Chain A
């Protein structure tokens, strides 16, 4: 893309590649920002422009900050105990009352950082025999660089497109068996809801993955950052922890599991604040100890801890901000749900496009069967066809999507694009129309 083209279209480009809600003009949620503002500039604790309950929440948070300032180092390197306690309570409520131990919860500057830390523990530290991590295909586009950073081998397992991107245990088996020839597989990474697939696992599916991990001696790493973005009738998010604890003792007391959740990906969409947590289950006590030391010199920020505290402990009925908060969250959710449905329908009307429904998450991942002549042109240009498609889409139609190859899809004859539906419904509709025209035109041309 040359500079001139960038200049011309910069005003009208719709960016649907990253799933960043705020960038797309959705959010922020008022109560969160009111509390943060009052935490930042304490004069606001006496200012009626901020609702009383927001001011009280801010005061409560400041009370747990040494010196009453959000400019302090986190009192514990793994997150302020008050916040970890709240997270534990949230998890407990979510999972039907099962206890959650705040000492097994770690706050950090996002899922990426948390995962990086855990992977650094799992890594053998050697290149001659690298630790392997089973990773889904397709997977989050930020995952490959994390594995590379920690010198880990990726062991890909294909999700089953025709079953809405479900997990297939036989495929897991194939992957781990093949992997043992060249690395030491120790962990299985999975996203639920799937990223970018939008698949939400049912109990049976989760149990089958847990049983597989147990049988193969694999550490489970479960990304659950879209747990509150679940759509469609009858679709329910079940946490791996809940399901695990409801299986027999042989599993519930042994399978090592770390689940990840974040400020960035739920309805709050606060990516820029950089905050998330992970919960450890059945891990050796040395794991929590080591993580504490490793985080010692990488103190997490304070502001996102306040925002996360609100995320896991939102205003309750009776509180002044409850109606507005609930309404804003609800609007965001229904917007996403509507877009998910609309996007799915529209994509499936396009020639050569097959798209699974997004039961959760923020992305659609349609498959494109592209015309032979287009594939030839891509080859001539030395580009992957999905990359060429994405480039042309932004050049000609001003819609930016992610190339599916970033998510690791490996098939030779079909290609994918990653399309976020995090946008206002008008903008999304606009993007869909532009994409349809472009796609139609492409098929005409080639």
Chain B
């Protein structure tokens, strides 16, 4: 028993109750590079700048996190008008608000307890919002039915992803649940798996083929994993984070077939579904493809798809809006899922309201339609241009190769580091790409996340940069990285 036992006989314990040693071993393993040590250093540098310290740069550019508004992207007017009306309904009398915004606000408020966004909602979310989400999915997927009972609203997609993992993870030893995640991956997955004590099963995306999925690699990973755990799920992010690839339809069909053969639950993270830029690329929802493969698949493969208000054209990360749609889940398990979501009471109601607007935007016959379309198109066009610019620029730098940014919000270039630099990094107790990124931060004030935070093939190095800074600033950032890179290579040659 713990040292607390000694305390029973009187007197105070010598140490603390909660220490590193006594802490839950699972939570100790959790890391999240996107907000990790390099970001902490960036915050420190910003503080020093504010206090008047002299640096080789006048500002720190935070290209580490997929936060569009922080980088100057403007919110969509219609969304904010409706939310303001929901927050302060007295404004429904204000004639500066368009009628369609007021109508949506009234409808949302009518579905809230006491007509207020300050009341708790039902745990799976406000009923009419779930219905609207289902309708949106049906429209998106060419009429394939969506049942509102299968829609669970969540606190961002992250909450829903963690909930699903929690539901699935069980067993001990060789029977412990294993979850397949892509390498590179968005580190929410590795963090959640560590936190929940699951076995992480890595499958490598093919950098030489534009980060596409390779069936042989999936098979290798799952066969290997079966020796020491019980693989139960496969997670896929499409469009990809950090890689930006948009999976082809054929690829998605292959993954579905693989999931069926290997009896795996499919988790499809589709939060970047509107962020598709490259010619020839198209977003195909896993659900749509599944149903178009016929009943042999559509009535058997278990699937959870995730979406959020944080990305796409909205960029409303701060609202924590999101949902998941569950397909073919065992009804008894679904009952457990419903119970599980009730632990966190309910998702933030403003986020639910925002989601309702995202799935229910102004229609062509409504007054706000014109402005809405204009604003949305401008955001997506700007992102597409920045995606193109970024891929192009990085490929002109000797020692840096970059796959095209087909979608999402990031670029994940590969950097070849001289052996001397690798040695220096080791000397300083840092992983080589962390060393590279720290140097870039200190010398140019640009904050990126090293590829080691996302996973990469042994012996390769990358960094993830967002494409979110305004185009003019992005050009400057790319130039600075080029200058730094050439200087760095020279130093260590």
Contacts and interface: CB of A to CB of B under 8 A. Distances in A.
Interface of A: 18, 20-28, 30, 33-34, 36-38, 40-44, 47, 49-50, 65-67, 69-74, 77, 109-110, 112-113, 116, 120-125, 142, 145-146, 149, 177, 180, 184-187, 214-219, 250, 254, 256, 264, 268-274, 282-284, 286-287, 290, 293-294, 296-304
13 contacts: A20-B120, A22-B119, A23-B114, A36-B87, A47-B96, A146-B343, A180-B5, A180-B8, A216-B4, A217-B12, A274-B320, A284-B19, A301-B318
Contact of B187 (A184, A268, A297): A297
B7 A215 contact: yes
Nearest to B339: A145
B188 A297 contact: yes
Contacts of B281: none
A302 B4 CA distance: 40
B3 interface: yes
Contacts of A34: 88
B17 A36 contact: no
A72 B112 CA distance: 25
B343 A47 contact: no
B343 A116 contact: yes
B365 interface: no
Given A41-B83, A69-B318, A256-B16, 8 more contacts: A72-B67, A112-B344, A180-B8, A215-B11, A216-B8, A284-B20, A301-B318, A303-B319
Contacts of B19: 284, 286
Interface in B51-95: 62, 65, 67-75, 80-81, 83-85, 87-88, 90-91, 94
Contacts of B121: 272
Interface of B: 1-5, 7-8, 10-13, 16-20, 22-28, 30-32, 34-36, 62, 65, 67-75, 80-81, 83-85, 87-88, 90-91, 94, 96, 112-114, 116-121, 155-156, 158-159, 162, 166, 187-188, 191-192, 195, 197, 314-320, 339-340, 342-351
Given A72-B67, A286-B20, A301-B320, A49 B90 contact: yes
Contact of A124 (B24, B188, B195, B347): B24
Contacts of A109: 155, 320, 344, 348
B37 to A, nearest CB: 11
Contacts of A145: 339, 342-343
Contacts of A116: 343-344
A149 B87 CA distance: 33
Contacts of A67: 67, 69-73
Contacts of B8: 177, 180, 216
B348 A272 contact: yes
Nearest to A15: B113
B192 A273 contact: no
B129 to A, nearest CB: 13
Which of B316, B340, B343, B351 has most chain A Cβ within 10 Å? B343
A120 B166 CA distance: 13
A286 B83 CA distance: 39
Contacts of B197: 125
A216 to B, nearest CB: 6
Contacts of B73: 67
A50 B347 CA distance: 28
Contacts of A218: 4, 17
B91 A37 contact: yes
Nearest to B314: A71
A146 B91 CA distance: 39
A226 to B, nearest CB: 16
Contacts of A284: 16, 18-20
A159 B159 CA distance: 35
A217 B13 contact: yes
Nearest to B188: A297
A70 B318 contact: yes
Given A34-B88, A36-B88, A273 B117 contact: yes
**5 residue pairs, one from A and one from B, having the closest CB atoms:** A23-B113, A272-B349, A217-B4, A302-B318, A41-B84
Contacts of B188: 297
Contacts of B36: 296
Contact of B27 (A120, A187, A254, A273): A120
Contacts of B87: 33, 36-37, 40
B17 A217 contact: yes
Contact of A120 (B4, B24, B317, B339): B24
Contacts of A290: 23, 27-28, 30
